Amino acid sequence: MIKCQACDREQQPRLLCAQCGAPLGAGLDLFAALGLPRKLTIDPARLEQTYHDLGRRIHPDRFASKSVRLRDASLRATALLTRAYRTLRDPVSRGLYWLELNGHKLADNNKSVPADLAEMVFEVQEQLADLRVARDGSGGEAERLRGAVDERRTELHRMIEGGSRELVQNFARWDAHGGANGAGRDALVMELKLVLSKIAYLRTLIRDIDRELDSAQAA
């Protein structure tokens, strides 16, 4: 039970006080913070609308002249709301979070390369190493390598798009499945984990490329 700082009412944890609508925001999972069921399929337009509606009611801007305790509650509730929105808006982080909630957390720093990506990852790392070397040398070679890396980047983005489509289908299948127990469930979780770790890995790869291109530009 938590106590509302505005009207003193004791209640179950929630984002807004059931009695007076003041921000509470304690100990909630991110689905609950946005008042959503724990489903993988989320309509982005409705999610944004909910986020904005709740934001308008609990944001610190609305409590600038209120008591210190209420301002603090507003700050914490809004931080939670923001995190919930950012996590659930993106299908990949939503999937990862959902798995975590259901006790299937993927390793934090997933360094192992998915098998079907191994060859390409190796090539990208080689290209980046070449670019690092060429950066200090003549301009023409660096330019050519930058072009090649840029192309690779586009390809990776396409792969992520493909993966995301696969992910959305997985989400729909899972939600239809109703989260029931049984053999099907484990297979679905496995599949979900596989797609997610692949996309997460591709994103890391793109970030490495961007960083390398950025410092190549700065040099």
Partner 1 sequence: MARIFGIDLGTTNSLIAVMEDGRSRVIADPVSGDSLLPSVVALAPDGKVFVGDEAIAMEPHLSVERDGRVSAVGFPGGEFGAVVRSVKRYMGRGGEELADEDRRRYTFADLTGAVVRFQVGARTFTPPQISAEILRALKARAEAALAGETVARVVVTVPAYFNDGQRQATKDAGRLAGLEVVRLVNEPTAASLAYGLNEKAEGCVAVFDFGGGTFDISILNIKGGIFEVLATNGDTHLGGDDLDRVLVDALLEGVPDTVRADRHVWNSARRVAEDAKKHLSEAASVELKLDLPDRKIARTITRAEFERMAAPLIDRTLECCRRALADAGQNAREIDAVVLVGGSTRMPLVRRRVGEFFGREPLCTLDPDQVVALGAAVQASVLMGTQGDLLLLDVVPLSLGIETMGGVMERLIHRNTTIPTSTTEGFTTAVDNQTHVDVHVLQGERELAPDCRSLARFKLGPLDAQPAGVPRIEVTFLVDANGILNVTARDERTGREHSVDIKPSYGLTDDDIERMLEESIDFGEQDIEQRLLIAARNDADQILTALEKQLREYGELVDADERRRMGEVTARLEQARRGEDRERLSKLVEELNEITTPFAERIMDRAIKLALEKKSIEELT
Give contact residues for partner 1 (rule: CB under 8 A): 52, 55-56, 59-62, 64-70, 75-76, 78-80, 82-83, 85-86, 210, 214, 217
Considering the complex, state which of residue 193 and residue 203 has its C-beta at the smaller distance from partner 1: 203
Considering the complex, state which of residue 109 and residue 181 has its C-beta at the smaller distance from partner 1: 109
SS3 5: coil
Least CB distance to partner 1 at residue 78 (A): 5
Helical segments of the chain, H only: 30-33, 44-58, 68-89, 91-101, 118-135, 139-177, 183-218
Least CB distance to partner 1 at residue 56 (A): 5
| CA terminus-to-terminus distance, the chain | 56
Considering the complex, state which of residue 35 and residue 60 has its C-beta at the smaller distance from partner 1: 60
Residue 12 and residue 79: Cα distance in Å, rounded?
19
Tokens of 123: 């090539």
Least CB distance to partner 1 at residue 29 (A): 14
Within 10 angstroms of residue 157's Cβ, the number of other Cβ atoms is 13
Least CB distance to partner 1 at residue 216 (A): 13
Considering the complex, state which of residue 75 and residue 99 has its C-beta at the smaller distance from partner 1: 75
